[in-house]
Each structure stands twice: as structure tokens, then as C-alpha cells.
Structure 1
Amino acid sequence: KRQRGASPELARGVNCAAEQSRGEIGLRLLKELAVEKNNPHAAKWEYPLMDEAKRCFAGFMKCSIEPESLKGFFDRIAKGTTWGQPVDPRSGEPIPRKTAWMVLPGYNACTYRYGGVDVEPQEFPDWMVDLMQVYMPLCGLSSREEWPNSCNLNLYEDGAMSVGWHSDDEKLFGGRWNDIRIISVSLGQARTFELREVGIEEGADSRTKYRMRLGDGDLCTMEGLTQKHYQHRVPKEDISEPRINLTWRWIRRRPEGQAQAVDGASKKP
């Protein structure tokens, strides 16, 4: 996971040239899958980030779930998750949020490692399946065989909790060089989510930052090569209410000795 200021494009070996187009490689956005599956909410998808030259996309769907259902999910997740707050070995301080890492049965050896922190997996509980049954069809993923096999959870207890600029480019997911899909749902307090191109330092105005306000129940995606060419963060804010964020992903590289998983984003139509 690349932290703010740690490695500009050339230092990390990123090719700054234009990438092949979506049409050339057969990449379909989740909105397109939802349209194909005739999901009644498919037209609600927006894409604030549409960088066709770099094949980077970030989608947004305003919540269409009843508030009572959202509160029920928030409470089940908050109480039914074993939360941790690992110490960042670089600073010697706890990371500024609580976290958990969950996987499908069969992926229990897949420890999530990022920024010097190791998070051991927990198996998907029943409420995870219930939540995915609500949200995956909105992404055009109606069959369980198409669903992600892992989920990173973050609990921001108030606005002082945050996550800095980074890319989700760990080998476990293959996002540094491959097209991948990341699906995120927010529950509770609205928070700001920002993206910027890799190599852009704090205060630089030469390139655009993309900003979304993610409210209770809202969906957000990062698709294509977004983890190669962009960073994202959740900055600190002057708020006091909690927020839970669930980020679903596909494990592509299991630990040595285990069969390799396949990310649905790499499948051509």
C-alpha cells in the first residue's frame, strides 16, 4: 500500500503513457453489468472519475435502501465484528481507525498486509451475506459465484479517525498492474472520500482531485487501473458520529501453495 509522498509515478515504475482502451481489453463497468441484468436502480449510477486514457473509473450510487434496514445493518456489523486497531510500525502509534478483515471460507490463510500492518482474517458472518444480497445486484452481480471473496472493514468512531493517501495495490488483489474492481458501502455518518492522481503531493494544484460525499448506505466503486494511477483517502473532519465502511475485493493471489483465485474484473464479455 503506497502512502502519501512515498513514491511518485517514476519511482514506482508506473507507465505514464496511455493505457489500452476498455473496448480493446473487454473491460465492463459495474454500471454496465447492472444495466445488462436489468436492475431497476442501474440508472442511478454516476461516474465522477472517468479517466479513459488511463482506464481509471470511480462510480457512485446514492442509497436506495430504507433507513431502518441501514440502521439494522450498522448495529449488526458494529456488534458482530471483532475490531482491532493495529500499531503502525513506522510511527509506533495505532492507526487512526478500527479495522477488520473478512474472507469467504477457504481463504482463511490470506492475511491482509499493508503499510507494515498485518490483519488476520475472520470468516464472513451471516450478516455479510445478507448485506451482499442487498448490494451486489446493484452492481450487476446477481449470482453468488460473481461476488467478491473478501472484505476490509473500517470503523471511524468520529471525525478524528481517518485514512491517508494510499492505493490498494497489494499483491493479494493484483491492482498495481491489473484491472480490478473494488466495491465500497458506507454506513452511518457521511464522510468525504477523495481521489487524486499518483505522484501529486499535498497542496499541488496541477491536477484535479475528485471528491465524493458518501452518506448512509451509499455505494462507491473503483474500477479498472485506478489503483495503479490514483490514490484515495478519507480525511479528518469536524464531526462526532461513527461511520462504518465495508470494502469488498477479489483475492487474486493466495499464499504460496494455495490455488489462485480469479477476479471477475479480468473476465471479458
Structure 2
Amino acid sequence: EEPRDKTGLRLVGENCPDGQWTYVMKDDSRRSYAGYLQCPFTPDQCVEFFGQVLAGTRWEQPHGPLGPIPRKTAWMVASGCTCAYRYGNIEVAAQVFPNWMKELMRQVMPHCGLCEEAEWPNSCNLNLYEDGGMSVGWHADDERLFQGKFRDALIISLSLGARRKFEIRLNWPEKNERAMYRLNLGNGDLLTMEGMTQKHYQHRVPKEEAIARPRINLTWRWVAKHSPQCPADRQPVA
């Protein structure tokens, strides 16, 4: 991939005060990065966030080819968008950002250098892992909506509740190259995946049977290519 100074990609950590964000993965040759910020919120805030998201979300557990997926999920979008979220054989209908989501983003986004509402992501995928038996397998967020295979894409992830493992692996590692990155994401921790990560890497949340407590993960992204049926689609018809 072209270097960052050619494409103009600025990392979240570069837009925030020095020393806050650490980059657990910096792959300049593939223009792929993963940043980590330890919980910047108070314990009371985290409890409030968890309660709001759990109660305020219409959760569903779609069926895939092997039966129900091993987590509950929801898909939210900014007003004016109706794009469904499709991955594999699964389709999740859009819910418009509720007021609590906007308030949550008001708390979270400044920690990512996004202080103006106009800069905020326009979609959020939410996953509820009720215990350590729930998981998500290896995948990339490379759906057409986000165009992450073709352009730099920023993903902002907030973890709430139980601490869970999060793993990132390189699709085609070369000899003597690091192929796997592992993090333990705790209550209130923020993670980014930036640049071309979705083209070159996959990630997962593995099962951890010993964990009895629930975890919620919110993954904010920018819909870059709306579906043709979506009112937000401004593409001229070919």
C-alpha cells in the first residue's frame, strides 16, 4: 500500500493529546493500524453506559447457515439512512440512532479526536455477548457499505462489561513477520482499527467459557457507499 504521507491518513492517536493512545499494531507497509486507549471514563459512567445500551437496544439473534449466531446484535444508523447491515447470509435491519446513542457518542468521540458532531460516524454495530460462551469468529469488516477494501477506513470500538480477549491476525504473513496480535479489552476501553486493516487483517472475539458476565461491544463506522434504495444514497443512476 502507499505510505501514509502520500495518502494523508492521520491516526486517531495523532489527533489526541500525546501519550494517551498506544498503537499495538503499526504495519506501515500495509497501511494498517490498531490503537488502544485504556478506559477514560469513571466506573459510574461505565455502569450507566452499559445499562443504557442494554435496555435501549432492540437486540436480535439472527440465524446463519449453522443456526443462531453465538451473540445478540443490532445495527444503528444516523437519521436519513435506511441501509441494512449484511454479512454472510445474515441481514440486520437498521434502527435510527436513539437519543442515548447521540449522548454516548458525545462522551466517546472527543477521546478519538472527533469533537464536532459533523465528524462523527454515521453507523454503529452492537454486539451483546451474554457470557463467555458467546463469540464472533474470524472476519473482516469489509462489507460494501464501508469500502474498507478500497480506501482507508476508521473503526472505533467501545467495550463495556466483562473483560474479553480480542485477536487480530494477518491474512498472508510473510516469513518472520508477526502474524497475530492479542488484547484483553476491559470495561470502557477503546480500540481503533485504521487505514487498510480490513483488507489485510481479520479479527475475532474467541469463546472464554470461564467468563459468566456479559459484555457489550459497540463498533462505530462510516457508511461510505449507501445501498441504492437508501435515501442517503446520492449516487447518480448509471
| Shorter-normalised TM range | over 0.9
Confirm or deny that 1:220 pairs with 2:191: yes
TM-superposition CA deviations, 1:152-203 (whole Å, max 9, x none): 0000000000000000000000011211000000000000100001147xxx
1:267 counterpart residue number: none
Supply the distance in 2 between the matched residues of 1:195 and 1:260 (Cα, whole angstroms): 32
Tell me the amino acid that sits aligned with residue 74 of structure 2.
Answer: A
State the alpha-carbon separation in 2 of the partners of residues 255 and 64 from structure 1.
35
Distance 1:86 1:199, change over 3 A: farther
Distance 1:22 1:73, change over 3 A: same
8 Å CA contact 2:171–2:202 kept in 1: the answer is yes
Partner of 1:49: 25
Aligned with 1:255 (options 210, 227, 232)? 227
Q: Does residue 103 in structure 1 map to residue 85 in structure 2?
A: no
> Where in structure 1 are there 5+ consecutive unaligned residues?
1-18, 36-41, 262-269
**Secondary structure of the residue that 1:145 maps to in structure 2?**
helix
CA contact (8 A) 2:22 2:35 kept: yes
Output aligned runs, 1:1-269, within 5 Å: 19-35=1-17, 42-88=18-64, 90-91=65-66, 93-107=67-81, 109-199=82-172, 207-237=178-208, 238-256=210-228, 258-260=231-233
Structure 1 runs, 4 residues or longer, greater than 2 Å off = 205-208, 257-261
Deviation at 1:130, TM superposition (A): 1.2
Give the SS at the match of 1:43: coil
1:207 deviates by 4.2
Consecutive unaligned residues in structure 2, runs of 5 or more: none
Contact 1:34–1:141, Cα closer than 8 Å, also in 2: no
Encode CA deviations 1:2-49: one digit per residue, 9 max, x unaligned: xxxxxxxxxxxxxxxxx11000111000111224xxxxxx52100000
Give the Cα–Cα distance (whole angstroms) in 1 for the partners of residues 179 and 86 of structure 2. Answer: 30
Cα-to-partner distance string for 1:214-241 (whole Å, 9 max, x where unaligned): 0000000000000000000000002000
Q: Is the 8 A contact 1:186 1:217 kept in 2?
A: yes
Offset, 1:208: 2.4
Question: Hey, what's the Cα distance between the residues in 2 that align with 1:199 and 1:45?
Answer: 27
The residue identity in structure 2 corresponding to 1:145 is A
Q: CA RMSD in A?
A: 1.6
Q: Could you tell me which amino acid in structure 2 is paired with residue 131 of structure 1?
A: L
- The TM-score, its normalising length taken from structure 2, stands at 0.93
Tell me how many residue pairs correspond in the alignment.
231
CA distance in 2, matches of 1:183, 1:126: 19
**Counterpart-to-counterpart distance in 1, 2:50 and 2:233:** 33
Return the alpha-carbon distance in structure 1 between the equivalents of residues 163 and 33 of structure 2: 22
Instruction: Select between 205-214 and 50-59 the one with higher mean Cα deviation.
Output: 205-214
C-alpha separation in 2, matches of 1:116 and 1:232: 19
